[in-house]
Chains A and B, each alone.
Chain A
Amino acid sequence: GNSVTQMEGPVTLSEEAFLTINCTYTATGYPSLFWYVQYPGEGLQLLLKATKADDKGSNKGFEATYRKETTSFHLEKGSVQVSDSAVYFCALSGVYNFNKFYFGSGTKLNVKP
């Protein structure tokens, strides 16, 4: 079946540090992959996505590359800011039922000034 595994948090970094949040997936075929961000008290919003192998999604300084060989979609940012403090969710949409979405458990990021 389809599933997403994320590294457990919380992740605590100092401002301007490098961020990596690991995400691996299990799926049949080639799903679309997503990173969502949830700021305190808000709903999830799309951060970036990639729809085929070797695609790189990017937005607001965040990047993630769709790696089919390692079934991974790790989120990275070169220099985090306090305003990046949030919960990050990795997700995939099913290949044969592309309107079913599978979410990881979320990784909380705390950035200290």
Chain B
Amino acid sequence: NAGVTQTPKFRILKIGQSMTLQCTQDMNHNYMYWYRQDPGMGLKLIYYSVGAGITDKGEVPNGYNVSRSTTEDFPLRLELAAPSQTSVYFCASTPGGVNDEQYFGPGTRLTVT
């Protein structure tokens, strides 16, 4: 049981490039989330999904896109990378019960120069 896995661990992008951050969970969780964590700051929700085929915006969705074709995978797409997207990105999942906690991946550190 690997939990939540993310790839890559590190990435440097040039301004205007695009990339996809991968997230996979093997716990059959319904809910999945993408957060960003800027240096010295808390977590900001980018997008979340309540199940395959269903996604919704969080508080900072601009510049990102997501899809959820399977229960396991929840990739985050960055189009036209900007320096403001330099951050650490965390994927998380939760089963969906009332008192359930979130399970986090190890993060992807992205630098846009």
Contact = CB atoms under 8 A, between A and B. Distances in A.
Contact of B107 (A36, A43, A51, A89): A43
Contact of A32 (B33, B92, B98, B103): B98
Interface in A75-107: 89, 93, 98-101, 103-106
B105 interface: yes
Nearest to B99: A51
Interface size class of A (residues with CB under 8 A): 20 to 34
A45 B94 CA distance: 13
Contacts of B94: 99
Interface of A: 32, 34, 36, 42-46, 49, 51, 89, 93, 98-101, 103-106
Given A49-B101, A98-B99, 20 more contacts: A32-B98, A32-B99, A43-B90, A43-B104, A43-B106, A44-B43, A44-B90, A44-B92, A44-B104, A49-B99, A51-B98, A51-B99, A93-B100, A98-B97, A99-B50, A100-B48, A101-B33, A103-B42, A105-B41, A106-B41
A93 B92 CA distance: 14
A67 to B, nearest CB: 18
